Amino acid sequence: MKIGILTYHWVYNFGANLQVLSTIGYFRKHGYDPVVINWVPADTKAHYDRVTSLEMINKFQEFQKENYPLTSLCNNAKDVAEVIKHEKIEMVFIGADTLFMLRKPHFSLRTFKTYYPKSDTIFPNPFWGEFLNYVDVPVVGYSIATLSTNPLDFSNIKEEASRYLKRFNKLTVRDAHTQHLVSSFTDGLLIPEITPDPVFGFNDNVDISVLEPEIKQKFNLPDSYYLLCMPEPHNKKLQKWAKHLSDIMAKSGSVLYELPRQNGNKCFDIAQLNHQRLSPLEWYVIIKNSKGYIGGLMHPLVICIHNKVPFYCIDYYGNYKTVFNIPIRGTVDKETSKSFQIVKECKLLKYYHNIREHFATIPSPDEVFSMLNDYDYSTLNKDSEFKRNYYFKTIGEIFN
């Protein structure tokens, strides 16, 4: 069977690229012929191009060219339908990522400008199966997320969205927030199962046995190192906190490296990796072989859980709670944070802290280092195996 994968395959984002590669690997290992449907919304790509260095753009595009079986370029749902016909695709697999994210125009008092949503966040679009208006093909949605979309803000599209959702032959979501969105749009007729991110099956789906020692040697990784990643370079308190943590780790014989984000910029005055510009596979191996991760990005948390690596989540995501639709700064609705959802599901909230809340005080560097060294491995190991097994059970059921 030829399967077309539709997701954020092209974005300059480590986690997004890894989940695509894991999905491709799963299909190949199970005898299917996967192709990645090359829908690239031009306005969204233009935004990514503006905020990403040319060096990193080239790095990601090189990785995608080497690892993805790509179709011809699609600009819209009609193009996607034509590719499905031309490639003789027998089923479309939509997922995983924040594919059901919806946005409305909003006016900013700070910049005195109106910001308009990109085409991938306007309903309908190919992620919602818009191409089914032009071609008849089975469609599966797997571990789709919506991030912070509130269904009440989109009551005007409820009926049409419900019709689109009911066209999916099978639909699962990545978190409770997206489950609520789908249930709200369909008046409870669809309550999709919550399933794991494809990166929870990465070690089984992608063979990195040859690459792993090469990557470790390339970066000259020591036996004991930790990783820190938080986009708060101008927070002086956080700068001091990171330096203090680095000093504590150095005294114990470990190195604290800054884990680069996709822009490759340095944020903290701590040890840096020899090559700041990483490929997604290099990023994965560096996290997998670390002694622990401190930060808020979701996919490093997934990689840690999958590989039984301790973590401490310092979260900077989540919408502010609202009163009469007015955001109240410092009162975070943690359920809208994908990092919180992951940690909560793993029952490891004692290793979680959200710094967007008022009066939030990060545990001292000594406390965090102590927690990483005295980790609850019984819970971590149990959840690692559960997530892996549940991923293979749920994705396997779709094709069985």
pLDDT digits (tens, 9 = 90+) for 325-383: 656 666 777 777 888 889 998 899 999 988 777 666 788 999 999 999 999 999 999 99
Q: Examine the pLDDT at 79 and tell me if it is beyond 60.
A: yes
Rounded-to-integer distance, Cα 398 and Cα 400, Å: 6
Q: Which amino acid is at 132?
A: L
Average pLDDT on 117-136 reads 97
Q: Examine the pLDDT at 248 and tell me if it is beyond 70.
A: yes
User: Which pLDDT belongs to residue 267?
Assistant: 83
Q: Examine the pLDDT at 233 and tell me if it is beyond 60.
A: no
Contacts of 302 (CB under 8 A, 6+ apart): 15, 197, 199, 200, 342
222's tokens:
């020591």
Confidence of residue 317 (pLDDT cuts 50, 70, 90): confident
Average pLDDT on 15-20 reads 97
User: Which pLDDT belongs to residue 172?
Assistant: 97
CB atoms within 10 A of CB 159: 10
* 258-272 pLDDT, tens digit each: 998 887 778 888 999
Q: Examine the pLDDT at 47 and tell me if it is beyond 90.
A: yes
CA atoms within 13 A on the CB side of 176: 10
What's phi and psi for 256, nearest 5 deg? -105, 110
Rounded-to-integer distance, Cα 116 and Cα 139, Å: 29
User: Which pLDDT belongs to residue 53?
Assistant: 87
Q: Which amino acid is at 116?
A: Y
Average pLDDT on 280-298 reads 95
Contacts of 49 (CB under 8 A, 6+ apart): 57
Q: Which amino acid is at 93?
A: F
Contacts of 329 (CB under 8 A, 6+ apart): 320, 358
Q: What is the 3-state secondary structure (H, E, C) of the chain?
A: CEEEEECCCCCCCHHHHHHHHHHHHHHHHCCCEEEEEEECCHHHHHHHHHHCCHHHHHHHHHHHHHHCCEEEEECCHHHHHHHHHHCCCCEEEECCECCCCCCCCEEECCCCEEECCCHHHCCCCHHHCHHHHCCCCCEEEEEECCCCCCHHHHHHHHHHHHHHHCCCCEEEECCHHHHHHHHHHCCCCCCCEECCCHHHHHHHHCCCCCHHHHHHHHCCCCCCEEEEECCCCCCHHHHHHHHHHHHHHHHCCCEEEECCCCCCCCCCCCEECCCCCCCHHHHHHHHHCCCEEEECCHHHHHHHHHCCCCEEEEECCCEEEEECCEEEEEEEEHHHCHHHHHHHHCCCHHHEEECCCCCCCCCCHHHHHHHHHCCCHHHHHHHHHHHHHHHHHHHHHHHC
Query: Worst-scoring range by mean pLDDT, 8-22, 65-79, 125-139, 331-345?
Result: 331-345
Burial class (CB in 10 A: 0-12, 13-18, 19+), 197: buried
